[in-house]
Amino acid sequence: MLDTSRLTPIAVMILATLREADMHTYEMVRLLKERGDDRLVPLQKGTIYHTVARLERDGLLAEVGVDRDGNRPERTTYTLLPAGHRAVEAWVRAELPQIDRASDFRVALSEAHNLDRDEVVALLDRRRDLLLASRAQHRAGLEKAAERETPEQFLVELQRQSALLDAELAWQDSLRARLVDRSLAWGIAEIPEHIKKKHHVSRETFA
């Protein structure tokens, strides 16, 4: 079984970007920023270059060429290796059902399109069970607090978390419904060609 524990969120996002096309580090950063992924992880130049070097050492990506544009420094182009392809999928599978690592879940959700539609539905169903259990626990806590006549000022955080769980469940149920009825395009094959070009998606499949 592939060990994904050593992969950081930024490593997963770099590998996922290379699933679309071979590119150099500057292009990876530009594309991630264009898509707003810097909301999820810091895109610091030093961290990016260090991560790319580590992924190369681990056999997940490889150099395929060096470009030079005018007087600019040489730029090394990287390609995704089969092990990197599998690593992205394995990491998303591990993190998408979780409810206790919010930052990793956000990255997994942003990369969930790398998995088949039906598999994503199944993973979200596992997550829904955890959300329901957590909501029941919070509601039980609020009920016990009310029975003990605990002053409400001590419960505002618990109330907030309960409300957030309600909202999370409603959002996830809506996403699941759109995946199931196929009203949400999923996977690169379902993206119209003109949209692929606009958003720099160049590979026809993730195979």
Q: Would you say residue 13 lies in a domain?
A: yes
Question: Tokens 């998995």 — which residue?
Answer: 115
Q: How far apart are the first and last CA of the chain?
A: 20
Name the residue type at position 69.
D
* 129 falls within a domain: yes
**93 lies in some domain:** yes
pLDDT of the residue at 134: 96
pLDDT of residue 46: 85
Angle at 180 between CA 177 and CA 185, to 5 degrees: 95
Number of H helices and E strands in the chain, helices first, is 8, 3
The structural domain count of the chain equals 2
Average pLDDT, the chain: 89
Most confident of 29-43, 67-81, 108-122, 186-200: 108-122
Q: What is the pLDDT of residue 93?
A: 96
Among residues 89, 111, 133, the one where a domain terminates is 111
Helix (H) or strand (E) holding 8: none
* pLDDT of amino acid 171: 97
CATH number of residue 16's parent domain:
1.10.10.10
Q: 206: pLDDT confidence band, cut at 50, 70 and 90?
A: very low
Give the Å distances, CA to CA, from 59 to 3, 63, 79, 106, 125: 13, 11, 11, 26, 33
Nearest to 180 by CA among 119, 105, 130, 115: 119
Assign 201 to helix, strand or coil: coil
What is the reported pTM? 0.85
Domain hosting 145: range is: 116-180
Looking at the fold, whether 76 and 124 belong to one and the same domain comes out as: no
> How far apart, in whole angstroms, are the C-alpha atoms of residue 48 and residue 25?
8
DSSP string, 27-73: HHHHHHHHTTGGGTS---HHHHHHHHHHHHHTTSEEEEEEE--TTSP
How does pLDDT run across 157-198, given as a tens digit for each residue? 999 999 999 999 999 999 999 999 999 999 877 677 766 666
Q: How do strand 75-80 and strand 23-24 relate by DSSP bridges?
A: antiparallel
